[in-house]
Chains A and B, each alone.
Chain A
Amino acid sequence: MDKRFMTGNEAIAEAALQAGCRYYFGYPITPQNEIPEYMSRRLPEVGGTFLQAESEIAAIYMVYGASGSGARVMTSSSSPGISLKQEGISYIAAGELPCVIANIMRGGPGLGGIQPSQADYFQAVKGGGHGDYHLLVLAPSTVQEAVSLTMESFDLADKYRNPVMLLGDGFIGQMMEPVVFEKRPAVSLPAKDWACTGAKGRASNLVKTLNLDPAELEKHNIKLYEKYQKMRKDEVRLENYLTDDAEVVIAAYGSVARIAKTAIQALRQKGIKVGMIRPISLFPFPYQAFADIAKRVKKILVVEMSMGQMIEDVKLGVCGAAQVSFYGRVGGMVPSYEEIVAEIEKLVKVAP
């Protein structure tokens, strides 16, 4: 068993390597620098390519070029850098190019700060670039989960010919935990016969995104939409934590969900039955899980390191059937489990 003690950032990089990623293009930014640093050391050892680009814009288009050439490729960055990549991400989604993009979020807006944050939820989930497109967005809550989701991301990207975003925060990136690298079972994936590899013995291939004929462009948008519908049907991932007997449910993802678990244990010791729904896939979002829980539980507390972003999707799922409250800390401030306990106590004290 391949067991190691490493930071989330290093674990993501190693998991990518083990998933067959041989190309990395990126630009330094805190708090994810351990990813490019690890890649710069390890990729040459396995015959891969690490290239430090001149900007996040260049990096994402190097990803476009490498992916369009048929390779497994990734980039990583943190919030301001991910903003710069948005044009390229839109092109990559439009061109149906598989790749993995890790966003180790920090506080914003603007240059913001370098401490953990979840303020890029809207950007990641609703489409930060122009046009009707979606990324598959996966949010790990432990370093071990970062490993398994990173590995899976490459398969999902190839399966759907779609960019996958691994959405972590500074905590996930910087935290050290023991992790196990397990071989993923090989999955059968579609051949990349569309890639640019030199038109030898076949008609030439073209990777493009321009469609001047509105009817053609509409058709392309519908094709992409059908892909997103398939993801909505097949790729929803979530964790139900002690929801069976819960009278109040917390909704949280990523590292906030870990803090929420501690809060839930403390609350249960006080006799307050609290559970949690932890979305793992943020797109597709587990709306149904919230619709189901709202039939029974009438109080939901959304906790985020933002001023309230995922709460909009929770409300869409709940659809008025339960009261949805919010607690958030921002700017790199992290909610403590005591704060979450206090919020829940406030909620249960008020008569429904």
Chain B
Amino acid sequence: MITEMNNMERVFGRPESLRPVSTHYCPGCGHGIVNRLVAEVIDELGIREQTIGVAPVGCAVFLYNYLNVDMFEAAHGRAPAIATGCKRVHPNMTVFTYQGDGDLAAIGTAETIHAAARGENITTIFINNATYGMTGGQMAPTSLVGQKTTTSPTGRKIERAGYPIKMAELLATLDGPAYISRVSVSSAKYVVRAKQAIRKAFETQIKGLGYSLVEVLSPCPTDWHMTPAAAIEWLEENMLPHYPLGEFKVPQEAR
């Protein structure tokens, strides 16, 4: 039996860049999937020893417990500035940030926009789950109009809280970014595409083409107060129409 297994081709396993531990994420959370996709891409590009990550403040703060690469833990919203400092010291390393929507599109908006505008040669993985996961489901800058959260208990009202921000579209208006796309992890098909986008973003950086960002629509069943299956459904019915998937900016290789 053992010899037989040894002769088989290994088609699926834990990426080397992913530590053999279980995560703290809730069942049905999108973070776990995206953590793994990042690890798979790092493995496939063979850059585990040349990669430095920056974890956010948010549910993914313990990203460094899962990814086996050198890492920083940022302050809330400041990951792009930390990544900038790191990348300027280590221009040959692949430097990425991993951030939630509160982190990237509220408290850290300035750092995000200016890292993008500078064309800082870093990659950002942006988890849009339309809520503040870690602090218990408050309204996020990306919460949808009408979405009930603990700080918009009767649903997000435009008169009081304005409109959700479409970060991928907003950043794509800048000249600095080289690659901007939005993906989802709500189905197997989308997960495959999400991984392709993450890979493309890292490759953009490795080629030295400039700032890259992948926005990932990601379920938060706990703070949406739904089962994992219902959360997937809610994401596809409500988030996909407001946050269209696709590439908003692709690298101009000959630049």
> Residues of A at under 8 Å CB distance from B?
23, 25, 49, 51, 53-55, 57-59, 61-71, 73, 87-88, 91, 196-201, 204-210
Contacts and interface: CB of A to CB of B under 8 A. Distances in A.
Nearest to A72: B89
B73 A65 contact: no
A66 B81 CA distance: 10
B81 A206 contact: no
A54 B89 contact: no
B61 A210 contact: yes
Report whether over half of chain B's contact residues are helix, strand or loop; otherwise say mixed: helix
A61 B81 contact: yes
Interface stretch (B47-55, B148-156, B178-186, B187-195): B47-55
B70 A196 contact: yes
B73 A207 contact: yes
Contact of B73 (A23, A58, A59, A210): A210
A228 to B, nearest CB: 22
B84 A199 contact: no
Interface in B63-100: 64, 68-75, 78, 81-90, 93
Report whether over half of chain A's contact residues are helix, strand or loop; otherwise say mixed: mixed
Given A59-B81, A64-B72, A68-B85, 7 more contacts: A65-B87, A65-B88, A69-B89, A88-B78, A197-B52, A199-B68, A207-B72
B66 to A, nearest CB: 11
A55 B87 CA distance: 18
5 contacts: A54-B111, A61-B111, A69-B90, A198-B52, A209-B73
B114 interface: yes
B67 to A, nearest CB: 8
B174 interface: no
A62 B73 contact: no
A54 B81 CA distance: 10
Contacts of A200: 49-50
- 3 closest Cβ pairs, A-B complex: A65-B85, A61-B81, A208-B73
Most chain A CB inside 10 Å of its own CB: which residue of B50, B78, B86? B86
A65 B55 CA distance: 12
B33 to A, nearest CB: 22
B82 A62 contact: yes
A19 B61 CA distance: 35
Contacts of A204: 64, 68-71
A206 B73 contact: yes
Given A69-B90, A206-B70, A207-B72, A198 B51 contact: yes
B78 A61 contact: yes
A57 B78 contact: yes
A198 B88 contact: no
A57 B114 CA distance: 12
B85 A64 contact: yes
Contacts of A55: 110
A6 to B, nearest CB: 27
B86 A69 contact: yes
B112 to A, nearest CB: 10
A329 B112 CA distance: 42
A107 to B, nearest CB: 27
Nearest to A199: B70
Contacts of A23: 85, 88-89
B89 A66 contact: yes
A91 B74 CA distance: 9
A205 to B, nearest CB: 5
Interface in B21-49: 48-49
Contacts of B110: 54-55, 57-58
Interface in B113-138: 113-114
